[in-house]
Amino acid sequence: MDKRLDFIFKRRSIRRFEPQPVEGDKVQALLEAAMAAPSAANRQPWKFVVVTRRELLDQLASVHPYAKMLGEATLCIAVCGEPAVSLASSEGDRFWVQDCSAAMQNLLLAAANLGLGSVWLGVHPTRQREDEIREVLGLPDNIIPLGIAAMGYPAEEKPAQTRYDETRVHREIYGGENPACPR
């Protein structure tokens, strides 16, 4: 792993958190990082719901099947899409998912580089999860929760990592210099 890219490799999914709250200036930095992501035609079809209230974090933990750690996290940011703002496509309006995913990834990398831990909890496209989270957060119907970043000061440590796999790399065309990959 190239040391110059440690800021990427150090991001690991962290599910245990200390009770210490995340400072306001770090929340601001996280949001600035998220909104530095690219978006199709620069539409920025995103909204960020910042949740620090204990009872809301607990409610989110109870409606999402893999979100128990929100009972311990001191902060979460729900990354939401506003499809109407997104670059439209003739047969479906889906660039917002890519735009919001890039913003989410920025958020997670920013957290790791501010001394925080985080984990991405998937919401979209499971309709029931979207509806339940929209209800807990009091969001209008035109806002779709893509995912939730559970965050806080980490209570577990994991080493830097890549999951590089050469069988996933093809040269020039599919199968190029990679005969191990069956069609």
Partner 1 sequence: MNTSLDFIFRRRSVRKFTQQLVEEDKIRAILEAAMAAPSSGNRRPWYFVVVQDRGLLIQMAEAHPNGKMLAEAPLALVACAQEDLSPGAWVQDCSAALENIFLAAPALELGGVWLGVWPRIERVQAISKILDLPENLAPLGIAALGYPRETPPPRTQFDENRVIWR
| 29 makes contact with partner 1 (CB under 8 A) | yes
Work out which of 21, 23, 142, 169 binds partner 1, going by CB under 8 A.
169
Encoding tokens for residue 6?
A: 């440690």
Instruction: Tell me the residue type at 53.
Output: R
Stretch 39-98 residues interacting with partner 1 (CB under 8 A): 40, 42, 44, 46-53, 56, 87, 89-92, 94-95, 97-98
Work out which of 16, 62, 122, 131 binds partner 1, going by CB under 8 A.
122
Q: How far is the CB of 155 from partner 1 (least distance, A)?
A: 19
Pick the closer one to partner 1 by CB: 19 or 165. 165
Buried b (16+ CB within 10 A) or exposed e, 105-142: bbbbbbbbebebbbbbbebbeeeebbebbbebbebeee
Q: 3-state DSSP call for residue 75?
A: strand
